[in-house]
């Protein structure tokens, strides 16, 4: 069967119409746009809004991820704040107790010194040995004689300057030195007495001053003088007992 195209140009135009229409639209796009600045502004706003949306979504996601950590940090903050408050309270109690103990020590610091001295000397005293007297060392030299000049007064602090009472309060009391005068009929008891005094944790610097033979009640005995210093013993040697005890 033979077909004759009586209009050859019509088929050719129909075949080229889609491509031609798109090319013509592109060519006429510049002529149709009357305000390019407006379109550029609209495109810019669209880009900015898109960027803001992206940032908002990312920030929301990070915030939701950090919320558990925030709650944990708040709970730890509350716990540590309570711990610090309790610590300050305990420190206040400790400072108050330290101050009270300091006052008690300043009052009772030397109250039982001679009780300890008598106890240790009695414990160290051997057999066939007795004491004549016991007292502070050099007491005969420190007694004020008639007409002697009085001791110099302590210098007063200059005007405008405060006296440093902290050093006076914290200064340790001077060591108590004492002398023991006694008699013995056995010279070995005298040396034993020296060794036992040196072994006492409450007595130090035991020094024999003199030892000579004297006659008492028609018998020769050894008269001796010993000088020593009292010291505070370690807490391991201190034994405390209650002042009163209930009896059932």
Q: Is the pLDDT of residue 24 over 50?
A: yes
Q: Is the pLDDT of residue 204 over 50?
A: yes
Res 42: pLDDT:
80
Res 156: pLDDT:
46
What is the pLDDT confidence band of residue 31, given thresholds at 50, 70 and 90?
A: low
184-191 contacts, C-beta under 8 A, 24 or more apart: 184/126, 184/128, 184/129, 184/130, 184/221, 184/222, 184/224, 185/128, 185/129, 185/219, 185/221, 185/222, 186/128, 186/129, 186/222, 187/222, 189/126, 189/127, 189/128, 189/129, 190/129, 190/222, 190/224
pLDDT digits (tens, 9 = 90+) for 83-128: 999 999 999 999 999 999 888 877 766 677 888 889 899 999 999 8
């Amino acid at each position: 069967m033979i077909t004759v195209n009586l209009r050859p140009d019509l088929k050719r135009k129909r075949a080229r119409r889609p491509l031609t229409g798109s090319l013509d639209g592109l060519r006429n796009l510049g002529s149709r746009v009357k305000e390019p600045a407006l379109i550029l502004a609209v495109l810019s706003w669209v880009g900015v809004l898109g960027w803001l949306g992206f940032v908002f979504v990312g920030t929301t996601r990070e915030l939701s991820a950090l919320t558990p950590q925030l709650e944990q940090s708040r709970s730890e903050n509350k716990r540590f704040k309570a711990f610090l408050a309790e610590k300050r309270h305990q420190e206040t109690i400790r400072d108050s107790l330290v101050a009270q103990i300091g006052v008690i020590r300043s009052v009772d610091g030397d109250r039982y010194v001679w009780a300890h001295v008598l106890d240790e000397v009695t414990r160290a005293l051997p057999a066939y040995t007795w004491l004549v007297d016991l007292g502070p060392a050099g007491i005969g030299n420190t007694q004020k004689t008639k007409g002697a000049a009085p001791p110099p007064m302590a210098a007063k602090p200059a005007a405008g300057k405060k006296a440093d009472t902290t050093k006076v309060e914290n200064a340790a009391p001077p060591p108590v030195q004492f002398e023991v005068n006694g008699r013995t009929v056995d010279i070995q008891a005298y040396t034993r007495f020296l060794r036992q005094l040196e072994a006492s944790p409450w007595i130090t610097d035991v020094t024999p001053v003199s030892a000579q033979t004297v006659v008492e009640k028609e018998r020769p005995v050894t008269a001796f003088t010993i000088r020593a210093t009292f010291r505070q013993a370690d807490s391991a040697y201190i034994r405390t007992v209650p002042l009163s005890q209930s009896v059932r």
